[in-house]
């Protein structure tokens, strides 16, 4: 009986977390981003496990605070947020639905790892990224570093719009 | 030194390199040659400081003296820092900054690749995270070495001077003391001698593409790993630690 009650509560918590938007890309939630790795009971305390996207992402603190506030708003006060490093966060965790939300928002979604070589040579930089405005793959990389740690700055050679590309890591 | 104490020192060596280089690079914020590059340097600085933060949290737990990552960063004095001399060298011109980044990024890339196989699960997990970032750091600085070396006569001259000035700090990257060798034997630490050939061949490949020659006959400097630093570290720490030391325990 106790276990069933807990299982219900856990799915309720997931629902709350799935409503929390990413502080920098508000069209996707922390769950869709892949930051929330687990919700479980450790003895009598609820534990939310999260993983960092980028080591130095300034939004991580914000995400923790948002989780804390959302849970407190629902009357949940006894919980712990734990940080987990393994397995390391990857953009491969994003679903196709999440990627299409990014695209609609104007951010080119990350390519799958299998489609992109990840290496240290210049030729390993992203190629064939489709422009989120006109879908042309005739695009070029302006800078591997963009408005946030997770994005590169690209430009479409056809519609001439500059756009953000969610880096594949 | 017992094994917990040597592990603590080992984590500090890795973290101090990233922290000090990250801080150095953050000094460039708003001084980049153009906007995108300014953002790139700030982004890389953030990655480095973030990776160091994860390591300091682990180091504080290993030390077991109820300290926090902030204590390790803001309340240690110069002689207690274990970073290599290369990363504390001051920012001069852009060629010099990129040369410093390139030498460290190349070392760090092969180091993090190897550290992922550490028998210490926390170090291996942090390395698996860090390697994703080290990869694009190296792509970034390697790209600049080629552009500057193969660019104008002025950029080539400046880059050549940078390599000549910084090459003396290369050997220290691979230095290992007895405590570290002990951790290597236990499968915890990376045997830096084993990554040296990968380091050399990547440096050689990029420098050749850039039309640069590897400096020869340079007398190698060391001391940072033992806490004996160049005069530049003291000034860096004075600035980095001033707020925390002036207002102990301050939070915002």
The complex's ipTM?
Answer: 0.87
Structural domain that includes position B28: 3-246
The domain total for chain B is 1
Nearest chain B residue (CA) to A167: B136
| This prediction's pTM | 0.93
Q: How confident is the model at residue A1 (pLDDT cuts 50, 70, 90)?
A: very low
Q: How confident is the model at residue B78 (pLDDT cuts 50, 70, 90)?
A: very high
What is the rounded average pLDDT for all residues in chain A? Answer: 88
Q: What mean pLDDT comes out for the span A115-141?
A: 79
Q: Are A122 and B36 within 8 A, CB to CB? A: no
Tokens, residue B75: 């309340």
Whether residue B145 is contained in a domain is answered as yes
Q: What residues of B are in contact with residue A85 (Cβ under 8 Å)?
A: 54, 122, 125-126, 128-129
Whether residue B252 is contained in a domain is answered as no
- Is pLDDT above 80 for A119? no
User: Which domains does chain A carry?
Assistant: 2-89 (3.30.300.130), 94-166 (no CATH)
- Is pLDDT above 80 for A5? no
pLDDT score for A57: 85
Nearest residue to A101 via CA among A4, A18, A44: A18
Q: How confident is the model at residue B251 (pLDDT cuts 50, 70, 90)?
A: confident
Query: How far is the alpha carbon of A120 from chain B, nearest alpha carbon, in Å?
Result: 5
Higher pLDDT, A119 or B184: B184
We report the CATH number of the domain holding residue B235 as 1.20.1260.10
- Is pLDDT above 70 for A95? yes
Tokens, residue B124: 């291996």
Q: What residues of A are in contact with residue B109 (Cβ under 8 Å)?
A: 120
Q: How confident is the model at residue A125 (pLDDT cuts 50, 70, 90)?
A: low
Candidate from B49, B121, B126 with C-beta closest to A56: B49
Segment 49-108 of chain A within 8 Å of chain B by CB: 52, 54-58, 85-89
- Is pLDDT above 70 for A124? no
Nearest chain B residue (CA) to A53: B129
Nearest chain B residue (CA) to A52: B129
Segment 148-187 of chain B within 8 Å of chain A by CB: none
pLDDT score for B243: 93
Whether residue B251 is contained in a domain is answered as no
Candidate from B49, B50, B139 with C-beta closest to A121: B139
Written as one string, the DSSP assignment of B209-229 is: HTT-----SPPPP--GGGT--
Q: What mean pLDDT comes out for the span B131-149?
A: 95
pLDDT score for A2: 46
What is the rounded average pLDDT for all residues in chain B? Answer: 96
Please classify residue B154 by burial: count the beta carbons closer than 10 Å to its beta carbon, then call 0-12 exposed, 13-18 middle and 19+ buried. Answer: exposed
Q: What mean pLDDT comes out for the span B148-175?
A: 97
pLDDT score for B178: 95
Handedness of CA A159, A160, A164, A165 (dihedral sign): positive
């Amino acid at each position: 009986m106790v276990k069933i009650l807990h299982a219900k509560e856990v799915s309720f918590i997931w629902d709350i977390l799935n409503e929390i938007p990413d502080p920098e890309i508000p069209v996707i939630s922390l769950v869709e981003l892949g930051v929330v790795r687990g919700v479980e009971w450790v003895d009598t305390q609820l534990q939310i496990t999260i993983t960092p996207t980028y080591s130095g992402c300034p939004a991580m603190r914000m995400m923790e605070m948002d989780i804390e506030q959302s849970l407190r708003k629902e009357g949940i006060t006894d919980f712990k947020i734990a940080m987990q490093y393994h397995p390391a966060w990857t953009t491969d965790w994003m679903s196709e639905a999440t990627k299409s939300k990014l695209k609609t928002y104007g951010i080119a979604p990350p390519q799958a790892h299998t489609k992109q070589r990840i290496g240290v040579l210049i030729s390993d930089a992203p190629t064939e990224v489709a422009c989120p405005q006109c879908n042309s793959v005739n695009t070029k990389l302006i800078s591997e570093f963009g408005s946030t740690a997770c994005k590169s700055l690209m430009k479409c050679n056809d519609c001439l719009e500059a756009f953000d590309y969610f880096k594949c890591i | 030194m017992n094994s917990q104490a040597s592990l603590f020192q080992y984590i500090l060596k890795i973290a101090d390199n990233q922290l000090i280089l990250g801080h150095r690079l953050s000094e460039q914020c708003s001084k980049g040659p153009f906007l995108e590059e300014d953002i790139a340097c700030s982004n890389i600085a953030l990655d480095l400081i973030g990776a160091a933060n994860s390591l300091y949290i682990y180091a504080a737990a290993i030390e077991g003296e109820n300290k926090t990552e902030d204590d390790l960063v803001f309340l240690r004095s110069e002689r207690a820092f274990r970073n290599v001399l290369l990363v504390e060298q001051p920012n001069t011109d852009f060629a010099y900054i990129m040369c410093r980044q390139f030498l460290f990024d190349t070392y760090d890339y092969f180091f993090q690749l190897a550290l992922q196989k550490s028998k210490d699960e926390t170090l291996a997990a942090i390395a698996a995270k860090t390697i994703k970032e080290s990869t694009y750091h190296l792509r970034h600085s390697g790209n600049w070495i080629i552009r500057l070396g193969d660019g104008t006569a002025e950029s080539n001259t400046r880059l050549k001077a940078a390599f000549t000035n910084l090459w003396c700090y290369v050997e220290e990257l691979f230095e290992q003391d007895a405590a570290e060798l002990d951790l290597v034997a236990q499968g915890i630490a990376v045997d830096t001698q084993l990554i040296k050939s990968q380091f050399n061949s990547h440096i050689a490949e990029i420098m050749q593409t850039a039309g640069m020659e590897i400096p020869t006959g340079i007398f190698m400097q060391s001391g940072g790993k033992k806490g004996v630093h160049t005069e530049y570290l003291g000034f860096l720490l004075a600035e980095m630690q001033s707020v925390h030391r002036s207002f102990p325990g301050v939070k915002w």
